[in-house]
Chains A and B, each alone.
Chain A
Amino acid sequence: MSKQKAQELRTDYWSFHPTDAYGSLGTSEHGLSEQEAQQRLEKYGHNELPEKGVSWTQVLLRQFKNPVSGILFASAIVAGFFGQLVQSIVILAMILLSAILGFYNEYNAEKTVRALRRSVSVKAVVTRNGRPSEIDASLVVPGDVVSVYVGDVACADMRIVQCKELEVNEAALTGESFPVEKTSDGLDIQGPTPQQLTNYLFMGTVVQHGSGRGVVVSTGRRTEFGSISTSLAESRPETEFQRGVRKYGTMLISLTMALVIGIFVLNTVVGHPIIDSLLFSLAVAVGLVPELMPAIVTISLSQGARAMAKKHVVVKRLVSIEDFGNMDALCTDKTGTLTSGKIILQDYWSLGKARDARILHYALLCNGAVTGEKITGNPMDVAIWEYAIAKGIEGETKSYTSVDEIPFDYQRRMMSTVVAKDGKLTLINKGAPESVLSRCKYAETDGKRGPIDSVQKLIDAKLAEYSSAGYRSLAIAYKMIDAKPSYSVEDEANLTLLGFLIFTDPPKKDAQQAVAQLNRMGVDVKILTGDNELVAVKICEELRIPVKRVIRGSELTQMSSTEIRSAVEEGTIFARITPEQKLDVIKALRTNGHVVGFMGDGVNDAPALHEADVGISVDSAVDVSKAAADIVLLEKDLSVLADGIEEGRKIFSNTIKYILMGTSSNFGNMFSAAAASLFLPFLPMLPMQILFMNLLYDVSNMTLPSDNVDEEYTKWPRRWDIGFVRKFTLFFGPFSSLYDFLTYGIMLFIFGASASLFQSGWFVESFWTEVLVIFVIRTRRIPFVRSRPGKWLTALALSAVAFGTILPFTILGNFLGFTSLPVQFWALLILMVATYLLLVDAGKVFFYKICKF
């Protein structure tokens, strides 16, 4: 909380009488003068939240913030310094290309979300100089008197000074889906939470019923809404994917540095010229660096983002897509994600064996909702109408004539209507059970009227049962009444209880299927809710989410960090938890090594969205929530999540394929080149040839993001495991080295090759094995032909092999220092490469049996 906000809250506006509240904020019921408002605007600033949007330069710069780009930059500079200008330019072009692609996608995503945010223009009705007028909400200042009506979104934090049947939905701030009744009376409480401030209107909350006037207490970032938003300004934690890239970069830097220094020193010691040795060692280093990695990753992510956009998912942060796929724990808020966020009439009941249909009829006759093209009003009254329409019984009350109405008010917590049918008058009363029961003398059981005391225990037990299961109830009572000019609250006495209406916020229709699908995909769904545990358990039962353990916020408070780490593994439901505890749960899961997704749409969800590896929000969410999210679902459809996860896993698979193939075959080739340079009287390959082969290999990999992915790769979440990459490199790298040495033997001892012939032979063998092994390594299936590669990958890889084969016979080949190869070489090469591919395939049997990934 900011100092300024703390200062403002020290004034207990909630405890004042409404008229005193005006004075304490330096205003009156006529509002501020325009001049005073202008001065306050200069003092407090515009009523706006800090934009989380980033500038285009920031988006562009972050494309270069990764270790691989650093290595590539260094390689380009060194290559340029030693005269390898072509290679230097090519490397720089690669970096630039991938950066432009990344920038294009990320900046567009930023713009899309910003446009979404701006599409909601907020106005406020403010009284200044005694005259109400509609102004831009950003111009509202502390002390302004603001009027609110049904459907309005509160533009600032306000002390309510006047209200009529005011009900506000504070779900965006507190997670509570039922509307909260507001009052203008002073409250005698110390250090209240927002939920307790029933005479406050908070920024971002929605007026559901009634109207009111409030004096603005705080604006902008000093509001409750703003303080949450401000906490999001802290830097985002590194995602699992970013951690993986960083570790991979560190491994690569260590390996490259060791090889460069080792090769340079050894080559110099054995007598090779210093400049040649340096260039050769640098070429080997460049050969080891997967230049295309940033481009492959970005192209994969961009393709994924496009595929997801078709499914109405906006990816705000490209880097989060892979974490989306690897996510193994999804924490979600209950309201609006697992439940519809809309109140429905679930059922009704009477005291006897059979349900009395009059309960529904009377509920329709005693109803404050406005019916027309759209039914509006109190959500419970609306729910009654929707239920009746769905059951086709809305017309059954036409035989009644409305005579009078005693409106709802918050003191009585009930309303009554007087209706006439067949010349008889009936007073129907509907309201909060405790209020209605206090006015009932009788209760009707199976059509028979008896004293209410005889059934009081049954009523209390049943109401408690429904309440503990998260239902809200309304009671219906009636009495026959004589005709008179007008009716008043005094007539609401000696009533006969007829029955109760049961309301709930139901689970979403598609949620059950979506949750089951997520479970099948290895994603553990955890519910983090501010609601009570019984409601959450009931939702889980209905969605068939197995509940291992329910943990309440009060229990979490008592736990040490170690205990929380253990509890989060077992817990399925975390009930009655605060936004801070949501953060604790997410942090504990991340510390335990999970890739954590968080889905929420309220203001209170924003910090958790920010903390999670993948923050998922929905288009209908509050702006601050969307701003904090990595991924925004344009439709509130949980099944989209499963599609997105699958897309993320495909992208991750293809990225990992590139890294595994590149690192292992490059490592093998460069290692054999380094070893050969020690005993050969000439360099096994010229620096320019190494760099050219490297470039050609990278081009053959350009279509890897479009490669097909085996189904088993998308079934379970996988992690970026640098240990696995190291083992893979150590194991499959030597296969390549072995066949490189074999080629040396063939070239030296069978063909008695000169330097040029040797280099040509090794170039072709090295290139064939390096490219063709893609088809073996890209799948875990054995034999590898059981997995069908993507058509573009096949086409480009085979074209590259064909190009590499004819290269020694071309002018370009001559320029690069190659020479024609004898026919016998090709025959031996085909045999040798076939054995190599089969041996690597056989190696997979062993490797994947002992190394799980």
Chain B
Amino acid sequence: MKKRIVSVLLASVLATSLVACGGTAAPEAGGDAGAGAATEQTEAPADTGSSESASSEMTEVGTPRNETLIVETQTPTDVPGQFNSYMQGTQMGFGIHQLMSAMMWEMDTVKGEQFGEVAEGMPESNEDFTEHTVKIRQGIKWSDGEDLTAKDVAFTFNMIMNTPGIAQCDYYNSVFESVEATDDYTVLIKTKESFPRLALRMGVTIWGNDLRIVPEHIYSQVDDPSTFKDENPVVAGPYTVKSYDPLGKWILYERREDWQNTTVGVVTGKQCPAKYVWFRYLGDDTTRQMAMIQNEVDILCEVTPEILQTMMSSNDKISAWYDEFPYATSDDPCSKGLAFSQGQGAPYDNADFRWAIALAMNFDEISMNIFDGAGRSSPFGILCNTSAFQDLYAKPMQSWFEDFELDLGDGTTCKPWDGEYKNRMAEQLGITGDDAYLEDMFGMGCIKYDPEAAEKLLIKAGLEKKDDGWYFNGEPFVLNLTYLADTEAQAGRGVQAAYDQLTKFGFNCNISSESSATWDSNGGTGNYYVAGYWPTGFITKDIYSQINGWDADLIVPLGEIGSGQGSRWNNKEATDIIHKLSKVSPDSQEAYDLAVDFIKVQYEEMPFISFHSGVKFVPTNATYWGNYPNANNAYNGPWWWWSCFKYILVNFTPQ
């Protein structure tokens, strides 16, 4: 009996091992640790031809590793095989908009300027911005060989306007009077009202845009474009779908043979070097780390600095924006900090109170607590301090910021600008460089740590300091802070650091985290007091689209969800500026001057305390591919999840 049981157990173990390892040779060593299970020695497909590649390393999806760029996608899709960007649920960041979509205008993220992708240049508008002529690039073909023409562009606009199932349908109908092709390569767009920002609204400014041109000869044949899955997409981008996981964890893209006729081919004249791009979902942080170290992925989206350092110490081919501290890029256009729900009333709706909170916190310590000092300070309220913003607005306004004074309510004043932050951080972290270098790395300055001034401002705002803490309206004052759980490390750590600072200052604080669904709802209803929300960002000169949600006319009562800012900052001067800005050309001097006025108003009022601009640790692995953009070779930002990825990818080189 005993022998029989032991035999059965041994046989089971043996069978399991055989099934697991059956048919595969020993895996290749990868990096400095472990063996690469995602790649195996297999025969290459016949089309590669050469005897050299006949036994080359293969990926798990059967493509030669040295011809495959492996990119992480942040979330798997629940709708595998759905590639229609106008059907809800399509996960555009799964390589779909990075590799296949045709955008009207794309973004040069370094210059902060748009350029035509499908469009030939920028639109030409009449004086009152109600008629816009857009020229279409010649030479772009769909992947089935048909030309991409003005008819496709006009069809796409009209398709959106005529399909109620498309989320943008109402909006397009409210904006556009008509869109028609006047010849094969010209589109005439008429708007119902003055619309000076056609390219900014209908083109890419950061992540992507909802307008993606579709082939008329395909989409005109379907009954309802909002329910057409488009499993075999015909595209204008440089890649087409070769295969996908029916469980939604990966998509394999193959380079188009007629690359000269793709959007990227026509715009740049270059061929994308990777024959295959495999977008895959890797799972939890531990798995992502191990996969990167084992060279099973070339590009990760974003990691924490701790994970990055672990990976860099295990595999010397892994790097990020900077080779050394601070590693991260600070140009993600979403600054993180503290938002106030001003609909909650006093004292949150009082600028003195908000300024007091800002002055009560030691920014040096906050910065060290978030990412060990990495990141460019962004003390400009709701405007994110990207390098473009710093050059275009912050530096020309430096003397204004330096001279700005707060009335502390007791006859004294305080200048809250602290221009020494960069030097202190450089000294503390052992960074050397000239002013320009340090300003790019740490920013021009921060809000001064001045607890004495903070106390005075709190008293001015109606708070009272007693032996056991702060009181408001005779009641103990409790500051409740919330942040989004798990997904946004910079924002979450910022709120935790603020909690420490404000507790140290003498406030009685609570802190809690929320799931994304609760967080999003509360952000709209204003159901919070102080929270780590972040205003959306921009990297173009025109700031209108970044600030138009702060129009006080859009404010709805607390508990309801409106179309504007959840903070409910109600400022007439700012609202007037937004209204004026909406009517002027984004390229005009008037628009710039109004933007400067707005920056001043919101700095005085401090509706949002910003800590840093968006700090992103985005690792790359140079084992198979090189020439990734980085601080020394900043031809683009490390935005793998943005639609402009195709213009980054075209510069990669095989190693």
B partners with A? no
Taking Cβ atoms with an 8 Å cutoff, the residues of A that contact B are none
